[in-house]
Amino acid sequence: MDVQDIVNTVSQKAGLDQATTEKVVGTIFSVLEHEAEGTSASSFFAKIPGADALAQKYDVMAAAPAGGGGFLSSLQGALGGVLGEKAGALVNGVAALKASGLDMAQIQKAGATLIQQAEAAAGPDLTNEVLGSVPGLKSHLGIS
């Protein structure tokens, strides 16, 4: 199973269009790429062909568009600076998901489906290890 299979399944089950789903999946993978450490993260991405490229396409730590952002961007920058890159990636990722026009129910449905697909591709133990290394991500995705 590659990343496109995951995007297709999340799109279908969460009722989202392909472009929005790709952004959601890429954003979540980007948060994992920035925050999950060690060999578990690289093993996880190695088991899902294309996941690292999609994470880089929707890099949550990339510079904000010129002239944009306003208060939220300032807040993200301040939090990222105080809490370090790890918290910054999660804050930026959640902000990007909300900015995509989805409500929390849609984000949670897409996130839960993504996790199910990742478990099928990379195995539940590895997926849970990677998710467990990113405190707060599961709660933002509504996953217990």
The CATH class that applies to domain 3-140 reads mainly alpha
- Cβ distance 109 to 9 under 8 Å? no
Tell me what pLDDT residue 87 has. 61
Question: Whole-prediction pTM value?
Answer: 0.83
Tell me what pLDDT residue 83 has. 46
The answer for residues whose C-beta is within 8 angstroms of residue 34's C-beta and 6 or more apart is 60, 61, 85, 86, 89
- Cβ distance 36 to 122 under 8 Å? no
Domain ranges of the chain: 3-140
Reference 41, options 137, 143, 144; nearest CA is 137
Ranges of the chain with pLDDT below 70:
63-87, 144
